[in-house]
């Protein structure tokens, strides 16, 4: 893999270092900073001509800063004559704005896809996109990874009896994801009946499917942002008699009171991955972080060698 180089922006250098440790490669040297007026500067401190370059940069908060930094890094490597540039985006910001659900609003996920392509990226590697169809917004290849094997591995190590497990979908839109986990963990399926009461509020009252009384409820989602919906789902299964409740999500955004909601909820634990760095003040006892670095590293190695990535999930 001598022709491959991996670099990191400032969004999540720890993850990039863990990926490099898995691959047995040194992290590439690039200096990213800010001019006095806030503009971003970038200087690549090693030769990348003709190399296969991977840039690790999730567009997590601060979203706009991290996105602009990624674009500038892509431009830098393009002008430095890299053979191929892959934007490794474990978390893809703006993914929730993926359609026009009312008049006079943008499809920002498509806009971001356009500017990443225009900046010079040849390929994108992302994980658990909020909507799988976002892959179609790009005019370049997209490799879409799933953190489910990592998260399910955490629950398998807990040795919960299969007959005790109820996999819970927090809403109708997450049923496919819940069934995927069900196939790996066993148990039965339940669905929370979530109804929108206003533009800002939802209500969760009923459970469809398997009873949760006396069971261990595992509630899966792709991200935990404010934690309002997923903690609401936890309250519902708690009221229906669940003995233990665990939440799991790939992306732990954890903004606007999410930590307080989790602390005050009836959940026994929360499992997230390191697609987004967890700030020290958010590292509470209930939250466990599993690393996706080996999965990301294996996918990068396979992309470099022109091997199948989908076989990672067979």
Q: List the catalytic residues.
A: 194
- Nearest Cα to Cα of residue 95 among 39, 151, 142, 149: 142
The distance from CA 291 to its chain's CA centroid, rounded to whole angstroms, is: 11
Q: Please report the DSSP string for 259-303 in residue order.
A: HHHHHHSS-SEEEEETTS---GGG--TTEEEE--HHHHHHHHHHH
Q: What is the 3-state secondary structure (H, E, C) of 79-108?
A: HCCCCEEEEEECCCCCCCCCCCCCCCCCCH
Provide the 3-class DSSP secondary structure of residue 213: coil
31-39 long-range contacts (CB < 8 A, ≥24 apart) are: 32/69, 32/72, 32/73
- 135: Cβ–Cβ under 8 A, 6 or more apart, which residues? 129, 142, 144
Answer whether 239's CB lies under 8 Å from 212's CB. Answer: no
Strands 165-169, 52-56: pairing kind: unpaired
Strands 244-252, 188-196: pairing kind: unpaired
* Cα 72 to Cα 33, 55, 140, 188, distances in angstroms: 11, 11, 18, 47
DSSP 8-state code for residue 51: -
Query: Which tokens in the block code for residue 154?
Result: 């955490």
Q: Is 54 exposed, middle or buried (0-12, 13-18, 19+ CB in 10 A)?
A: buried
CA angle (81 as vertex; 79, 84 as ends), nearest 5: 110
């Amino acid at each position: 893999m001598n022709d491959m180089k991996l670099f990191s922006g400032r969004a999540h250098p720890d993850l990039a270092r863990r990926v490099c440790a898995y691959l047995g490669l040194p992290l590439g040297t690039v200096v990213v900073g800010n001019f006095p007026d806030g503009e971003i500067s970038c200087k690549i401190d090693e030769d990348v001509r003709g190399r296969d370059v991977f840039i690790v940069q999730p567009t997590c908060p601060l979203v706009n800063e991290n996105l602009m930094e990624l674009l500038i890094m892509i431009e830098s490597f393009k002008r430095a004559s890299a053979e191929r540039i892959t934007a490794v985006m474990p978390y893809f910001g703006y993914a929730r704005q993926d359609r026009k659900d009312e008049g006079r609003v943008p499809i920002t996920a498509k806009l971001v896809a356009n500017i990443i392509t225009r900046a010079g990226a040849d390929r994108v590697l992302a994980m658990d996109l909020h909507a799988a169809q976002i892959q179609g917004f790009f005019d370049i290849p997209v490799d879409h990874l799933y953190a489910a094997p990592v998260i399910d591995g955490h629950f398998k190590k807990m040795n919960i009896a299969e007959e005790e497990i109820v996999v819970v979908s927090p809403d109708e839109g997450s049923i496919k994801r819940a069934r995927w986990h069900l196939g790996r963990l066993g148990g039965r399926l339940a669905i929370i009946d979530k109804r929108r009461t206003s533009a800002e509020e939802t209500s969760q009252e009923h459970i469809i499917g398997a009873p949760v009384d006396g069971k261990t409820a595992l509630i899966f989602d792709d991200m935990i942002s404010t934690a309002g919906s997923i903690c609401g789902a936890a309250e519902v299964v708690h009221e229906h008699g669940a003995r233990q409740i665990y939440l799991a999500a790939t992306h732990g955004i954890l903004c606007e009171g999410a930590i307080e909601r989790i602390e005050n909820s009836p959940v026994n634990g929360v499992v997230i991955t390191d697609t987004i760095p967890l700030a020290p003040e958010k590292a509470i006892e209930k939250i466990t972080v599993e690393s996706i670095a080996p999965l990301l590293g294996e996918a990068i190695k396979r992309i470099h060698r022109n091997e199948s990535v989908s076989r990672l999930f067979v």
